[in-house]
Each structure stands twice: as C-alpha cells, then as structure tokens.
Structure 1
C-alpha cells in the first residue's frame, strides 16, 4: 500500500461545511429553581435548594443537570440561523441522564420529540446520525443478535424511520433495523459509514456473551472500505463512542483497519464524553507516524459542569480528487452563566482550531506536532488553553497541573484501549 502524504491537492480548493451535534440530553422534567445538588445521578428536577444555595437556572445549570427543552431549542435555532452548513452529523444520546428510572416508552418519547425538533429547525438539511448508549432502556444495554427474548428491535425500527425522515435514503433501513449501523454516499466521492459503537462498549453487559464483534460490524466496515478504495471514494466514519474507549479486542482490531485503509478514511467523528477532545491514530509499526484523526465534539448538554456547545467543520471537497479532510473547525458555546444572569441567550465562538493552536493545517501530523509542543509547554499557557476548551470554558483560567497535562495528552494519543505503552512518550 502506498502511503499518501496529507496535503491539499489544490491550494485554494473548494470547501464545504458540516455541523456536528452530539449528546443533546434534553431533560423534559427540568424544573427552574429546583435543587442543583441532589443524591441522584441527575439533578435540577425537583426539591427546594438548600439554604444559601441558588436553585436551578431557567436556561440550565452548571451542575449534574441536563438542559431543558427550551434551551436546546434556542441553541439549535441559533445554529440554523447562523451556520451555512451543507449537512449535519449527529452522534447520538438524546434522552436525559435519569438512568435509574427509564422505560422504552420514555426513551421513544425523547427520540421522537427531539427528532421532530431537529427536522423543524433544519427543514432542508440531511442528518447523518449514529446511535448513542443512552437511547436504550436500560441505558447501555444493547443485546447481541442471539438474544431473542429481550431484543433491541423496538429501538432500531424507530431509529430507521426517524433517520430516514431526517434525510437518509430508504436503502439504509435494512442495516439500521438489523444493527443500528449503515453506509450511504453523501456526495459522489464521499461515503459515510455510521457505526453502532455500543457493541464495543464495556458498559454493555450483553457483550459478556460475545464481545468479539457480535454483529460482524467490523467485517461489514472492511467490506465497505474495500469497496470505497476500489471505487476511488473517501470515507467519513461517525459513531457515538470513540474506539479508544472500547473493549480492547474491538479497539485494537479497529486500529488495524484504520491502518490498512488510512488512504481512504478522511475523518472520524464521535461524541459521548461531552468534552472537546481529539484522538490520533498512529501507524502500528512506526508509532510516531500519525495516520488518522478522530474528533470528539463537545455536548449540547451541561452534564456535568459544562457550557452547552456544538462544532462546525470546514472541509476540503466537492471537486475531482478531493481529500475530504477537515481543514479547520470552530466551536460555539452558550455562556450559561451570563445567559441566566441576563435572561437572554448569549453565544460566543469559543475558538477556531488553527488560530487558537497556531497550526498550519489540521492533518494528523499537525495534531501530532501540537502534542509535541504541549509536552514541552514549560509555562503551561498552551496547555491551559487546551484545558479551557476541553471543558467548554467552564475551567477558564484554571491551572492544568502536571497530572492533568499528562492525563489529557495521554488520552489524546491513546488510540487503542488498554495499551500499556500508549503513554510512554508523555513525560512523567
């Protein structure tokens, strides 16, 4: 296999724009003025605040709380009015975090209400979606195909119907209903592969029965990547959970696939963590050669202690020989403290990647060079910036100490889970 050097084929080439939404987590039981600190996993729903403590803000709260419907509606309306996007990636997790008290009926209510909101707000845009771990009831539990008495078809059938209404072609229905994954052509030359990463998650206890790719999803992905390679297509991969957070067998096999098809895979896009992160895939032989980028977009929800946010990508494309690589990205957040204070939604461009990090491009090697700069960031200013954006400016001005720095850098380059040597290059 010839290794392609990451570069624009045409300087000043045409570009297109993609909106990336993830982890909306609307709480339909959110109650302004309620307790922000409680004994349950999700607060801001009931009870009077303790003496001396403020109640939940009208627009949301920077505690263990999800966002109310009206806040999500305002964020999406702002994005629809401001962002001139070609299409939208949505990487899962719509229901709230009341994981101790959820039913199939409640989950489907959340899915239908939020998908209706998306369709109403972006009436002429196609959504390319991936299923999150919170869509199931109980949360995280996605039965393997051999489980017949407690299967997950109730969810996949609704997802197929709603995703097709949001713009997917009808020929994706069969694979969505079978396993919550699909492939489609976005434009001639650009293929999308949407993976159901719940079948690699350690939190999916059904994998104790069979954790080795129980749906044959990796082989299916290989088949489509080979098809793309044979037909001169580039591929974007979307999923909810990044492979670095998967069970080791899946994670390591996934990286082997990325290594084999590094010339075909133009980008990976995930959510799940709620933070602003990256993950760099490296060559399995030359561990200093970056080959692919995974972007983990920040959440719309505030859970936990995070401003709401979304991501916009500028990409190379729509001309013969397009790379379809991410050229730059911009993150937008709602300043929740100011929004509650003035009772007026206040948005800001938190940062633009190339300007903020002084990067020439956003190719894998550029991100690798940023990691090298962060390793030697003596005064901590650059690392402080990374940490601020990691928390969507909740931790603005906070110090990221040695352990914090090592943890974040290790996380950004740990492309295989449970790799004992993943962080050997990070100074102790």
Structure 2
C-alpha cells in the first residue's frame, strides 16, 4: 500500500492565510502570494505538528485550498512534493495529480473538527489515534442458530486449493535496466540514468526473471503457473486475492489498468483451469481509488468493474459476473466437491474499509459503504439456509492497520454471527506470509474462544522477498483447512537467472509448527482449527526458535541489509497481530518509510521495515521535513 505523497503537505492554521486563499481564483494560482504563503506555511505547520489539534489546523487550510478547486490543490501538493524531494519530479507530478480529486473532495465534505476529520488525520498523518469504534449493529435476517458450531472433519481424501496473491506483473520490466533506482519500483528504463547500458545499470543490471525492489516480469508470472502445475497439478481450483497491476502508481490511466489486467487474466486463463479472484487496491486508477456506489462524483469505477466482470465470467459464471458489475466488484459463486458438498465462495471488495480510499470520507461516514456488509450477510445467510460452507476472499486483511477500526469491527460482527458457516477467510495485500486468528472475546484471547482463521498469502512480486504461492489441503466436506505448503523460488540461487526459477517446497505448516506442540498435532486429516492456530501463537511466545523461523518465513526467505531478528516489542506486537482479526486490537502503530537517497538519485538498498516494528509514520515525515526546511524555503 502506498500513502499519497501530498500527505506530507501540511498547512499552518491562520485566519489570514485562509481569507487570502478564498480571495484567489483558480487561474494562475501558483503565481499568487497566497500560493507562496500557503506553501511556506505548509512546511512550518508540518514540521511542528504533534497532535490532533495541530492536524485539524492543517486540515482547515488544506480545505481552503480544496475549496478553490482540484487544480489549485494539485498544484500546491505537487510543488510541496518537489520542494521536499520526497520523490522524483515525475512521481510528484503523476501521483499528486491523480490523487488530488479524491483528497480535495474529501476535504470539501469534512467538518473540522469532527470524528471524520480525526479518522482522516490518523490515515493521513498518524497524528491522531483512530477514535473508538462507533456503535453500530450490523442487521441480520435471522438470529444465530443455537446449534451453530464448527463441523468435525470428514477424514475423507482431501482436495487441494492454490492461493496466489499480489502478482504485480510489470509489462514494462526491462532486462538490463537498473534494479537500483530512486522510485518505488525499479527495473524500468525511466530515463537514461536507469536504462540498459547506463553506468548505474551496468552495476545493477536487471536479470530476466525478476529482482528484489522490482515488480514481476511476465517470465516470472508464467514460471509461477508452471510451478503450480508441477506441485499442485491435482488442484481443485485457485483463489487469487488481488493486486494484479504493477506499482507504477504515478503513471496509470484507466486504459492502462484495463490493458494490464486483461493481459494478465488472459495468460492466467491459458494456464489455470478454475480461478476465483478478488480485486485489489492496485487494480484501479488511481491506486486505492474506489468511490462508493451512489456517490455523486464524476469519477467512478464502472469501467473497472465491467472489465473484471468480463475477464472473470469464464470462471465464476454469468450470474456472478453480473454481481461484479452491480455490487462494486463483489460476487458469490459455488463449488461442489467430489463428495457432493457445496462451498460458497464470496469475494468482497475490501477497499471500502481502507483508510487511504479518500472517497469514503463523507461528512458523516457511511456505516457500510457500497453495501459490502449487506452483500456479505445476504450471501452467508443463503449459505446457512442451504447447508453450505463458505469461504470469504478479499484483498486487505481486516486486522491490518490499513483497515479502519469501524469497518474491521463490523466485519467481525458478521464473522461472529456466521462462524458456524464460514470455514475460513483468505487475504493478501501485505506481501508477507501470515495469518490472523479471530476470537469471540477479542480482549481475552484464548484457544477456547478462537473461532476463525484468516489466511494471508505471500506475494509473487519479489519487491521484498522471494516469489511464493500456497497450496492448501482441504477437507472435501467441511472445507476446513487441514494443512498448507508454501512453494518458493529463490532469487538468490546462483542459477536462478541462467536456468530459470526453480520452484520448491519452502515449508509445510504442520511440520514446521504442529510437530512442536505438546502433544504434536501432525495428523494430515485433522483440521488446523482456530484453536490450533491460537496454540501456535502460544508456541511462538515460549519457543523463540520457532518464532524466529516463522518471522524469517514471513519475510519470504530474504534477508536484506539491515535485517535482524524480531525481539522485544517487535515479537510482542507480531504475536498480537497474529491473534487479531480486528485492527483496533492488532498492536500496530502506523509509520512512514522514509527512503534516503544517495547523490545521483540512487536508493540505498536496505531493509524495508514494516509498520509494526517502527515508529509512527508522522515522526519520520517530520524528521524529513526538518532536514529539508532550508531547501524548501529557498524555492519560495
């Protein structure tokens, strides 16, 4: 997930500046004294902001700029981005202009101060804590049946299901370009500095099958399909939890998104017989931009939903494809195993609970934007009535800091109501190999009250680790997970780029962790129940070797410069996250990843630290602003 670069631009409060801004016209705004004063005030306010009140002061003036129109807002944010050198000029121009409409819209809707403003401040700056969850009861057609329990496994021959995620296929990946660059993804000939034959590219040449810090070349994508055939040729189907498109977020267009996802799904269709996909935050233009249904705005994602509906129709059927069009990218379909048991697969659009989807910040935020919860409840009730089991698939895990507290909590209400019907949930987005355990008492988590597992798949893209995919062993009647194996291709292998990726078993969950429990839990036909998964987190508390092995596997087998063991607060927070399917209980403090660049535009190759083990994002931003203050003032 990328935070918009304009998030760094804060504006000082002050009635003089506000009134001056209101007196300007849209034309030539960047040549006016008010523009120059606002830019200078932005540096000052952001450098000294430290709490919610400071953030509200910033928002008041940001709102004043937004009320002048999208163009002035975009101009100011682009200028600030360039002045602070937080990104290359082309990145500033592209990303700020793409995201300005949604942010300026949100600011114009916003009362300051307000609960919405507080949520916005947390997502934008990390200055405010998210407010407590707003009391809301999700409506259900019927109460939970008294006999709703998790069924016992059948002990029949399992089926296999493959889980892929975050492929981020880059159709512009160029062999011989530099894999060390000043952008968020490399291995592209952005300019002569990074193109094949340049001095930098000669030092860091991109090889055919992918590089760390780069997104996925088509050859690696096709290699994954071959690996799936080799190790899971007996699969029943594949689930894909979103983010097909590469991370070139500052240069996307509607047409490019359509072309990219079309190419990827056409190749996937040639290789994988049955796939049940979900949409990711990168699978639209611009990134993270998903206006809720019914919102009055000239921007909408109709083109995106229509495209995915057409591309998925072959796998999910005509009725489900029509749901994709009419329900903001969501659908429900069924799979019947060789036993005759029926599984309902419900794919939801998780971007309506994402904190950086600026279109959800209406004056009073909806309790269920785009009817995600209503659709999910409708389909789960249908499954319960029909005696079906259900899987929920989506992109963003509800226990991550990306998920706003309210919506994560409301989803948990649905999980608690239908925990006898839902067999498991499946997510992506983090690029890491993880899981989340839900509990009926989230503030008193025990194995006895663990009642659901969310499986978070590692990614194909090698930006921060080796390419991975999972294969689950699944009970053919209950559709509970019995075990899973992760398969990996080691980019660091000496022959990786000469003979191509060699996919191999990385580890199997029960062998790695179930064997260490007392007593061991390794029967291949026993379910990895929520209680078992909770017990694994307890194992991590008392067995540090097992935990560190988990943490290394979570990182997908890559140990970049600066990487070290996860100890102390890092370990405590990591285990807390594994036990939390609600973001309000996940022990995560959002933080900014400030990338330091060397002279000549090179980025230092260093470990990318995740938010759970680093400081708040605003601390890093404030330090960057303070370092660049003289430079910013020099351009005013």
TM (normalized to structure 2)? 0.62
Q: CA deviation at 1:121?
A: 1.1
2:210 equivalent to 1:60 = yes
Q: Which has the higher strand share?
A: 1
In structure 2, the CA distance between the partners of 1:102 and 1:49, relative to structure 1 (3 Å rule), is farther
> Which of the residues 473, 478, 485 maps onto 1:323?
478
1:383 aligns with 2:547: yes
Q: Which residue of 1 aligns with 2:113?
A: none
Distance 1:228 1:384 in 2: 40
Q: In proportion to residue count, which structure has more helix? A: 2
Q: Which residue of 2 aligns with 1:333?
A: 488
8 Å CA contact 1:23, 1:274 repeated in 2? yes
- Which residue number in structure 2 is paired with residue 274 of structure 1? 431
1:144 aligns with 2:292: yes
Alignment of 1:16-415 (within 5 A): 16-46=159-189, 47=194, 48=198, 50=200, 53-62=203-212, 64-83=213-232, 84-122=234-272, 125-145=273-293, 146-165=295-314, 167-178=315-326, 179-187=328-336, 188-209=341-362, 210-245=365-400, 246-284=403-441, 287-288=445-446, 289-303=449-463, 305-317=464-476, 322-338=477-493, 339-340=495-496, 342-358=498-514, 360=521, 361-377=527-543, 380-395=544-559, 399-415=565-581
CA distance in 2, matches of 1:185, 1:240: 19
- 1:156/1:180 contact within 8 Å kept: yes
SS of corresponding position for 2:584: coil
**Per the alignment, do residues 169 and 96 of structure 1 end up closer, same or farther by CA in structure 2, a change over 3 Å counting?**
same
Which of 236-245 and 1-10 deviates more?
Answer: 1-10
- Contact kept, 8 Å, 1:259 with 1:284, in 2: the verdict is no
Larger radius of gyration: 2
Deviation at 1:420, TM superposition (A): 7.8
Structure 2 Cα separation of the partners of residues 398 and 214 of structure 1 = 41
What is the CA–CA distance in structure 2 between the aligned matches of 1:269 and 1:147, rounded to whole Å? 32
Any idea what the Cα deviations from partners look like across 1:110-151, whole Å, max 9, x if unmatched?
Answer: 1011001101112xx221110000011001000112234211
Shift of 1:181: 0.3
Q: Distance in 2 between matches of 1:223 and 1:58?
A: 46
CA displacement 1:48-102 (0-9 Å, x = unmatched): 363994322221112x210111111111122124312011101111111010111
Secondary structure of the corresponding residue to residue 72 of structure 1: helix
* Equivalent residues of 1:280, 1:292 under 8 A apart: yes
Contact 1:58 1:340 in 2 (8 A): no
Deviation of 1:8 (Å): 3.6
CA distance in structure 1 between the partners assigned to 2:223 and 2:275 by the alignment: 19
Q: Return the offset for 1:5.
A: 6.2
Q: What SS does structure 2 have at the residue aligned with 1:190? A: strand
The change in CA–CA distance for 1:137 and 1:421 in structure 2 (over 3 A counts) is closer
| 2:128 matched residue in structure 1 | none
SS in 2 for 1:410: helix
* Cα distance change, pair 341–163 in 1 and its aligned pair in 2 (3 A): closer
Q: CA deviation at 1:247?
A: 1.2
Question: Which sections of structure 1, spanning at least 5 residues, go unmatched?
Answer: 424-428
Q: Which moved more, 1:348-357 or 1:169-178?
A: 169-178
Tell me if structure 1 keeps the 8 A contact 2:179–2:214: yes
Question: What's the TM-score once normalised by structure 1's chain length?
Answer: 0.91
Q: Paired residue for 2:582?
A: 416
Change (3 A) 1:24 1:420: closer
Give the distance between the partners of 1:368 and 1:189, measured in 2 at CA.
27
Structure 1 residues 286-330: Cα deviation after superposition (integer angstroms, max 9, x where no partner) = 532100000000111112x2100101011001xxxx221000001
Shift of 1:383: 1.1
Deviation at 1:225, TM superposition (A): 1.3
How many Å separate the matches in 2 of 1:291 and 1:351? 25
Report the alpha carbon displacement of residue 389 of structure 1 after superposing the two structures with TM. 1.1
Cα distance in 2, alignment partners of residues 138 and 392 from structure 1:
28
Q: Which deviations, in whole Å up to 9, do the C-alpha atoms of 1:370-428 show, x marking residues without a partner?
A: 11111112xx21011101210111139952322332232122112111238899xxxxx
Q: Displacement of 1:31 after TM fit?
A: 1.6
SS in 2 for 1:256: helix
Query: Quick one: distance in 1 between partners of 2:305 and 2:202?
Result: 46
**Any idea what the Cα deviations from partners look like across 1:170-204, whole Å, max 9, x if unmatched?**
01122200210011111252111110101111111
Partner of 2:470, secondary structure, is strand
